[in-house]
Structure 1
């Protein structure tokens, strides 16, 4: 798929910015085929810290651009109050902002919407190519299962969102219609519960399931995969690892030590935390 790869990310506080730096390092390390553009929602004074990180990016084979945009948290809060959606997940308004990226970045046609606690193991251009797998009306590709009993029924930490299609098909009408059903089913509510309820009501009409290898959740069984061969312990291709249960990456290192003392992912993360941005490409 031609053109730059666009990423949309919410980064609001010191802990999130701490996670953001290893993510950017993996983009610097692996982006080889197409240019990278970051669209970053900021708040709580995060602008300066984010710019410090981005301004140390070395020369790499592709162009690396970014824009910082302050999130209007009051607008999103008012929207959720209007539809009686009570956000009970710890990510709060910032997590819910992933449902509004298509409106906020209205000059962007498609975007990979990311949490900050993701690291890539290969060129994200391969993920961008998966937009071509979406059918004509599908808006979102993400990790999802049709079983409400599973804790990992959906994961919005990494999504392909077709912003143009979401605007054209009026995404908000699907979103609002799903809220009443959702509130009667779950105790903890966030953007991914909203997305799961949309999936339950609309299925593959709006959604495409993203291959598990692009969002390997550290909540589950991915501690033992081999970085060198880009596969996890079950032979699946390593696209992105998600520290959704471990917290910040340095906390994950402790878990790796307990779960798998020889984990190549642990060594990779340790490298990402310790290496200086300007040295990323020269060391690996």
Structure 2
């Protein structure tokens, strides 16, 4: 609705999700800017295989292995240099190009930017709630070059040619040695627990994202901000903001604590609900009228599919096999 530039969507999913999304995308008939949607059809076996090759991570989070794939986005999009990741229970209220422009501040080794709210630390989660992997700027090229995640395909290679992954030492630094089966236990919050290990132990890779880009329904209506009063001054708004000294201009709304499809939550019909009072009108506008506002141009939508995408470690093994002479 707000983009000022052409947009590429890279969607890692299964056939069912692609069918659902393509049906919705057929409603996008004449966007303002060209849109590319590329589906990467990753099977359950493909996900499980990559987790097994990594060897130490696991999850008891409801998102399961698909949630852990957020740690491997850079591997599955080999031709994409940089990307925004946004959870499916969030929507933009500002030009996403403004978020993409934050990459300009990710100089040197910085490869990851995500929300930080250290005042929400919880010891029983190893403080993984200090961040949120719901909105991320990922320099995919830098993460591939590290490489970030380990693999048995790397460990089996000759030492002179063996990539040394950045993530494993961070996992052990936060969670201690893995269990007898080689896997970590009690890593709460799924992928976010592993991201927290990475960014808290490799601060050279991380830059906190400005608060504007994750205003959420969690944590007492995050920061206490809303759509604002027409006559409010900056001085009026600042005392109402929780856990921050800055006035926040909400650019992305995140409804991760509703435990429903966010736009189907029954609470939106309760006029006395504080979340509805704060964000109901914004939800109605963005979810209810998006197709009208999206179809106001003369550009084109293009949809492509990548069947059975492969991970970086698989490409590494294949390239290594091609370079190795064959002897009978």
TM-score normalised by the chain length of structure 1 = 0.78
Name the Cα RMSD after superposition.
2.7
Question: How far off its partner does 1:132 sit?
Answer: 0.5
Question: How far off its partner does 1:272 sit?
Answer: 3.1
The 1:273/1:218 distance shift into structure 2, 3 A limit, reads same
Q: Structure 1: which 5+ runs fail to align?
A: 1-28
1:259 aligns with 2:260: no
Distance 1:111 1:57 in 2: 22
**Equivalent residue for 2:143?**
166
The 1:152/1:256 distance shift into structure 2, 3 A limit, reads farther
The 1:256/1:54 distance shift into structure 2, 3 A limit, reads farther
| SS of equivalent to 1:193 | helix
Q: How does 1:1-284 map to 2 (within 5 A)?
A: 29-31=1-3, 33-43=4-14, 45-81=16-52, 82-145=54-117, 147=121, 149=123, 152-172=129-149, 173-184=165-176, 186-203=186-203, 205-220=204-219, 221-222=221-222, 224-226=225-227, 234=241, 235-247=247-259, 248-249=261-262, 250-251=264-265, 253=268, 257-260=272-275, 262-263=277-278, 265-275=279-289, 277-278=291-292
Distance 1:151 1:198 in 2: 11
TM-score normalised by the chain length of structure 2 = 0.68
Instruction: Give the length in aligned residue pairs.
Output: 250
Q: Structure 2: which 5+ runs fail to align?
A: 150-164, 177-184, 242-246, 297-328
Q: Deviations over 1:54-93 (max 9, x none)?
A: 1211423211111111123333323334523221111111
Does 1 or 2 have the higher relative contact order (CA < 8 Å, sep 6+)? 2
Q: Deviations over 1:204-236 (max 9, x none)?
A: x0001001110112102346501787x986330
Q: Deviations over 1:6-50 (max 9, x none)?
A: xxxxxxxxxxxxxxxxxxxxxxx211x211110011215121111
Is the 1:112–1:160 contact (alpha carbons within 8 Å) kept by the matching residues of 2?
yes
Distance 2:271 2:73 in 1: 33
